[in-house]
Structure formats: structure tokens, C-alpha cells
């Protein structure tokens, strides 16, 4: 049986992110994410956090919404549950166990850079996002720190904006707002049926 790398990382995951300089990098990323979330104006909606890990993003999501957390790692979900988070689901990000158009907002923070088939991932995000819904997506851009992550054995797929743009177009998303931090770009995307129709022969 294959070992889930994130199961192995779960126990020390939050501790490492509290250490310098990771804590400063994370703080800037979370500030950007909070600002992008404020643009969605959601209330009493259903939200899915993909690759929720130990639940870091869940506490930033609107409290009047029904929020689900999903991750492939059982031990990561156990950590999130220990913090009091509920409605946690174990699944793969490219095969979500939810009906089409289930959520008004999908967040995918720190997961895109691990996708070997990024278009399949984006298509699955699009499938579960409701009409006029949003996807909050982050990706790792090319830079020294991300090169070091790969050299240190953490395989990440860095992305250039010009490479990502056609993938977003094919999957039916358009950019509403963009922010950047040291190793990550944060995008607030909206689901555009017009784009999707253009891509359908």
C-alpha cells in the first residue's frame, strides 16, 4: 500500500509553518487570501476547501456559510478535526465526491503545484462550482525559493502566468483579481459560462 506523504508530514506540519521565515511567508499569503475572499460577498452559501490539510484556511471562511474541508490525507484531516472543524471528507482532488454545481466558492490553496494533470484538476473544480461561483486558486511561480523546494526533495510544479491562462480559459474560468507573495500567486477566479460555451465544439 502506497504511503501518503502528507500523512507522514501531518504531525509536524503546523509547527514548521510557525517557524521563521515560513511564518512570515504564510502571513503574507493569508493576508492576500483574506482580501480576495472579501471580494466574493458570500453569505449562507456552501464552500469547499480542497486540500484543506490541518484546516488553516477554514478559519478564514465566512462563519455563516456551510463549509466543507477535503483532503487525501487521513492524518491531516484528523489534525483539522482536533481543532474543531467538521464536515471533513477524505478524497482525491481530481475525483471529488460532490454533485455538480454544489458550491458557490471553492478554495484550492497550496495544491495546484502538486498536480501532474492541471487541466483535469481545474475541470473538476469547475464541475463542483455553481453558476456565477468563484474559485480561489494559488500556484507556485518560478523563483529561487521554489527551485530550492524541488532541490530539497519537495516536488512542485512551478507555473508561469502565460502557461496558466489558456488552462483557465479551457476550464471555463476568468480572473477577477490577482495578488502575489514571495513564492505564491493568489487568484480569485469566477466561473464563466460564456467561456465554457466557446470551448464546446
The answer to whether residue 132 is domain-embedded is: yes
| Exposed/middle/buried for residue 23 (C-beta within 10 Å: 0-12, 13-18, 19+) | exposed
The answer to whether residue 15 is domain-embedded is: no
- Order across the sheet with 88-90: list the strands: 88-90, 66-71, 46-50, 103-108, 129-140, 184-191, 173-180
**Highest mean predicted confidence (pLDDT) among 13-22, 34-43, 120-129, 139-148:** 120-129
Least confident of 98-102, 127-131, 159-163: 159-163
User: Three cell numbers at 199?
Assistant: 470551448
Residue 53 CB contacts under 8 Å (≥ 6 apart), including other chains: 6, 13, 71, 73, 76, 79, 80, 110
In terms of pLDDT, which residue wins out, 149 or 168? Answer: 168
From residue 78, alpha-carbon distances to 21, 34, 49, 52, 59 in Å are 26, 25, 15, 11, 16
* Residue range of the domain that includes 165: 5-10+22-199
What pLDDT is recorded for position 1? 37
**What string of DSSP letters covers 107-159?**
EE-S-GGG-SSHHHHHHHHHHHEEEEEEEEEEEEPSSHHHHHHHHTT------
The answer to whether residue 17 is domain-embedded is: no
Q: Residue 74 maps to which CATH number?
A: 3.40.50.150
Q: How many structural domains does the chain have? A: 1
The answer to whether residue 16 is domain-embedded is: no
The string of pLDDT tens digits covering residues 35-66 is: 999 999 898 999 999 999 999 999 999 999 99
Average pLDDT over residues 95-123: 97
Amino acid at each position: 500500500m502506497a504511503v501518503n506523504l502528507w500523512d507522514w508530514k501531518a504531525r509536524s506540519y503546523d509547527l514548521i509553518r510557525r517557524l521563521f521565515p515560513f511564518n512570515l511567508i504564510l502571513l503574507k499569503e493569508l493576508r492576500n487570501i483574506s482580501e480576495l475572499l472579501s471580494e466574493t460577498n458570500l453569505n449562507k452559501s456552501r464552500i469547499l476547501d480542497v486540500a484543506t490539510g490541518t484546516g488553516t484556511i477554514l478559519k478564514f471562511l465566512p462563519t455563516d456559510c456551510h463549509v466543507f474541508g477535503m483532503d487525501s490525507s487521513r492524518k491531516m484531516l484528523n489534525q483539522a478535526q482536533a481543532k474543531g472543524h467538521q464536515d471533513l471528507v477524505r478524497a482525491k482532488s481530481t475525483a471529488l465526491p460532490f454533485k455538480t454545481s454544489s458550491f458557490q466558492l471553492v478554495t484550492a490553496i497550496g495544491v495546484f503545484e502538486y498536480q501532474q494533470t492541471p487541466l483535469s484538476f481545474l475541470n473538476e473544480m469547475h464541475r463542483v462550482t455553481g453558476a456565477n461561483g468563484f474559485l480561489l486558486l494559488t500556484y507556485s511561480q518560478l523563483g529561487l525559493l521554489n527551485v530550492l523546494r524541488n532541490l530539497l526533495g519537495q516536488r512542485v510544479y512551478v507555473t508561469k502566468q502565460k502557461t496558466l491562462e489558456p488552462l483557465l480559459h479551457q476550464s471555463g474560468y476568468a480572473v477577477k483579481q490577482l495578488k502575489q507573495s514571495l513564492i505564491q500567486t493568489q487568484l480569485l477566479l469566477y466561473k464563466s459560462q460564456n467561456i465554457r460555451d466557446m470551448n464546446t465544439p
